[in-house]
Amino acid sequence: MGKVWLVGAGPSDAGLLTLKGKEVLSQAEVVVYDRLVGPGILSMISSKARCIDVGKRAGNHTMAQEEINQVLLKEAQAGKRVVRLKGGDPFLFGRGGEELELLARNNIPFEVVPGVPSAISVPAYNGIPVTHRDQVSSLHIITGHKKKGEPYDLDFEALVRTGGTLVFLMGYGALAELCQGLLEAGMAPDMPAALLQQGTTAGQKRVVATVATLTEEAEKHAIETPAIILVGKVAGYAEEFSWYEKLPLFGSQILVTRPRERSGVLCGRLRELGAEVVELPAICTVRIADNPLLLQELEQLDRYDFLVFTSPAGVNHFFDALLEQKKDIRSIGTAQIAVIGPGTEKELNRRGLLADWKPSCYDAQSLGVLLGTVCADGQKLLIPRASQGNPKLVEEITKRRKVTVTDLPIYDTVYESGSDAVDVHRLYQGKKRPLALFTSASTVRGFAEACKALDFSLVKALCIGRQTQAEADRLGMETYVSKEATMDSLIARAVELVEEEKAGQ
């Protein structure tokens, strides 16, 4: 017997997914998701999980609710760990109760993981507190959805009498009727009101007006769905309390193609700066199994004069293998250590070691030139790295010095396709194109492999170095390059590009 977790994904911002929601999602075997779930959250789903798009969005349902209920039951009866992933909170107009009824009748185990509701979080991201001691002391969340051609079954007079903040979800299509109903029930025409588009995402936009003028203003500003309607005095705080749009990367959607185990810090910093981040790991590194050459070299490390690392993965795979053989850093003897750049150096430092050499330009050719300058004829160098390492490193060393170089493959770079739930093609169909970050030529190739049908001329690519940029240029992408091959420089260049785009609008 399997189990179902009903998980609220929140309003879209991946940072607003609860810790429990993220943990449950990472362990799911089957994920049944709605289209209102943000791509940043969908990208967290394991590539091993089977994803079922039930397409629930206003006016566009791929699967009827009764069918969704049956899917959950069938998958759980098949013994699967099933996550039903819903936008916002599953029990707030999310029909979560309906989905649990069938499971309960069939004795299927289930849990509910509440989500951050959009009725509170979206106004917060727009600088609107839904309650304020000096203005309102109550909040009322109302569904704006109604059957086509039928009048609203709402007691507008009762809503007006509350004097509280009114938040209408799923009501944009009937905005004029809602505003008119409130006015006819006695609400003051100058009562502040706001329409909040795609809150917590790169598409966030708001219109603040009054109940009498909101419909007209929404049409002027071409507001798109999903959008929520907020009516109440607190809407007047939007300008004073606004904060999200003041962040330097606000309004940008950024695709991070770095390996998942290496992208956490980068993604976190981009989110802190206001970006909507979608993780699309294009590659992963896998240590070569049954590697007798590696085992042989681990037994004779003290014969080397230089130990050379060209990536953080190389450091980690090498020292992990060393420990597995019951050896520690004393095994490397007096060898000098060279690294290709700051990222690799940081991983070395985590192992309690300092680098002796690092080139000023962080690429294989520059590292080779440096080593060819500082080493002496007759010395021995060990380079534990990827099986498809850049040949320029060894070429630059050996054309300068008569040395013995052991170019030791210890891991493979494998392309990843990411979660099936992330529709990359759909991301590039919008008015604004995402900015794709590439931290190596292999991430470009991995991205291309995973998105073969994509028109790569649509891809705005920010690359960490010239070699990476050359690979993106080869595919016809619109390319930009960071000033230095570091994460700090990459982020700084992303901020510059977003600022340039905003200035040109």
Record: fold of 120-244 = 3.30.950
Strand ranges inside 369-499, DSSP E: 380-386, 404-415, 435-438, 460-463, 478-481
Q: Catalytic residue at 56?
A: yes
Res. 491: pLDDT tops 80: yes
The backbone torsions φ and ψ at residue 140, rounded to the nearest 5 degrees and listed phi first, read -130, 120
pLDDT digits (tens, 9 = 90+) for 70-114: 999 999 999 999 999 999 999 998 889 999 999 999 999 999 999
Statement: residue 504 has pLDDT above 80: no
Q: What is the CATH number of domain 289-415?
A: 3.40.50.10090
**Among candidate residues 415, 465, 410, the one with its CA nearest the CA of residue 440:** 465
Active-site hit among 3, 13, 22, 56? 56
Spell 267-300 as b/e; 16+ CB within 10 A means b. bebbbebbbbbbbbbbbbbebbeebeebeebbee
- How many other CB atoms sit within 10 Å of the CB of residue 225? 14
Residue 333: Cβ within 10 Å count:
13
- CA nearest to 269, candidates 491, 494, 443: 491
Helix axes 96-105, 65-77, angle to 10 degrees: 40
Q: What is the pLDDT of residues 113-148, one digit of tens each?
A: 999 999 999 999 999 999 998 889 899 999 987 666
Position 56 scores a pLDDT of 60
Radius of gyration (Cα) for the chain, nearest Å?
Answer: 28
Task: For 33-57, write each residue's pLDDT tens digit.
Answer: 998 899 999 999 988 899 999 986 5
* Cβ atoms of 239 and 126 closer than 8 Å: no
Cβ within 8 Å of residue 213, ≥6 positions away: none
DSSP 444: H
> Does the pLDDT value for residue 59 go beyond 60?
no
- The secondary element (H helix, E strand) that includes residue 86 is strand 81-86
Every domain range in the chain assigned CATH 3.40.50.10090: 253-282+416-504, 289-415
Rounded Cα–Cα distance for residues 440 and 472 (Å): 10
DSSP H or E run through 283: strand 283-287
CATH number of 3-116, picked from 3.40.1010.10, 3.40.50.300, 3.30.9.10, 2.40.10.220: 3.40.1010.10
Is residue 432 among the annotated active site residues? no
Q: What is the mean pLDDT of residues 318-329?
A: 94
Dihedral sign for Cα atoms in the order 480, 484, 486, 489 = negative
Cis peptide before 434 (omega within 30 of 0): no
253-282+416-504 is a CATH 3.40.50.10090 domain: yes
The answer on pLDDT for 62 being more than 90 is no
**pLDDT one-digit tens code per residue, 202-228:** 999 999 999 999 999 999 999 999 999
Domain with CATH 3.30.950.10 in the chain: 120-244
pLDDT for 60 beyond 70: no
Tell me the pLDDT tens digit for each residue of 103-120. 999 999 999 999 999 999
Instruction: Give ranges for CATH 3.40.1010.10 in the chain.
Output: 3-116
Residues near 305 by Cβ (< 8 Å), separated by ≥ 6? 335, 336, 375, 379, 380, 381
CA 126 to chain centroid, in Å, comes to: 21
Active-site pick, 34, 80, 205, 358: 34
pLDDT at 387: 92
Looking at residue 413, its amino acid is T
